[in-house]
């Protein structure tokens, strides 16, 4: 099933993002997490792709497992990092042979310690090139791309970033999933700018349940998202109490989700960080 078909159906979708585990213990844990979260009947899940392609094989493994063992439609992340056109074509062929036809096409981040993205030999420099290539090679694939409500960290402005997003849509992107944010007004302002730019594909907000202040600061530094001052103040006051931090995180996510749903978003995409506890609490409060 193409993800865009679920997104266009009446009623908002619910989806999760996972990352490939690195150890046998983490793998066993993710199987448990998937078994727990499948009861919420997600419309799809996405699986990330490691820096420098370090988890490319694991991404392939997990999207197959999610589809075959759990019966959930997977979306495989695919990046421009450390992969030539021939290598990307081979990955697309393997996805197709496994019955997987949903891709989230990303440029990918430079390796740790490097400030600029350097395209691989015979590879791609931008996500729009990757989207175009996927659509040329696999016209029937459904392709999603990333959007940044506060602008990509490397963008000179939000308006310029939205121009780049429009290019990705123009060459074939079917839907957009946003980076995390904690102020819904930023998301709605982003939607307005996208509409004015002529972007008409569905835009799904990405939400990250907060489980750790340290992790939150790391994630926001990487993606350029801001933390509202009142939220940060509450988290810093509870920093030594993990349960309290997680409670604040659940309350934040539930509040955001209710507001987003009330205003008619196409769906909610949760970055669950391979944990089932916080997202289970959130979804139960949302009546799932």
Report residue 25: phi and psi, to 5°: -65, -40
From 17, 73, 129, 150, active-site residue: 17
Q: Which residues contact 160 (CB under 8 A, 6 or more apart)?
A: 151
Helices H / strands E in the chain, number of each: 11, 8
In the chain, the N- to C-terminal Cα span, in Å, equals 22
Report residue 269: phi and psi, to 5°: -115, 120
**Would you list the DSSP string of 181-248?**
-S-HHHHHHHHHHHHHTT--S-EEEEE-----HHHHHHHHHHHT----HHHHHHHHHTTT-HHHHHHH
Asked about 154 being catalytic, the answer comes back as no
Distance CA 104, CA 142 (A): 9
Rg from Cα positions in the chain: 18
Catalytic residues, which ones? Answer: 17
């Amino acid at each position: 099933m193409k993800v865009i078909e679920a997104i266009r159906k009446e009623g908002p979708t619910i989806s999760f993002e996972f990352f490939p585990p690195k150890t046998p213990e983490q793998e066993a844990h993710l199987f448990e997490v998937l078994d727990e979260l499948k009861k919420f009947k997600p419309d799809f899940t996405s699986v990330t792709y490691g820096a420098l392609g370090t988890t490319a094989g694991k991404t392939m493994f997990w999207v197959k497992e999610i589809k075959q063992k759990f019966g959930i439609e997977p979306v495989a992340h695919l990046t421009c990092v450390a992969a030539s056109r021939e290598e990307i074509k081979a990955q697309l062929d393997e996805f197709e042979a496994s019955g997987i036809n949903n891709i989230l096409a990303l440029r990918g981040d430079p390796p740790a310690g490097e400030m600029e993205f350097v395209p691989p030999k015979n590879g791609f420099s931008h996500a729009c090139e990757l989207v175009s290539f996927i659509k040329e090679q696999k016209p029937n694939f459904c392709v999603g791309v990333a959007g940044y409500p506060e602008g990509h960290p490397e963008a000179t402005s939000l308006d310029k970033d939205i121009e780049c997003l429009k290019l990705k849509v123009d060459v074939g992107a079917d839907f957009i999933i946003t980076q995390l944010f904690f102020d819904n007004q930023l998301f709605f302002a982003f939607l307005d700018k996208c509409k004015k730019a002529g972007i008409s594909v569905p835009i799904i907000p990405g939400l990250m349940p907060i489980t750790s202040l340290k992790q939150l600061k790391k994630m926001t530094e990487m993606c350029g998202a801001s933390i509202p001052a009142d939220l940060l103040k509450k988290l810093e006051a509870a920093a030594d109490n993990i349960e309290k931090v997680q409670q604040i995180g659940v309350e934040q996510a539930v509040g955001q989700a209710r507001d987003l749903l009330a205003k008619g978003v196409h769906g909610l995409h949760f970055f669950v960080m391979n944990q089932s506890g916080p997202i289970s609490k959130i979804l139960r409060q949302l009546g799932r």
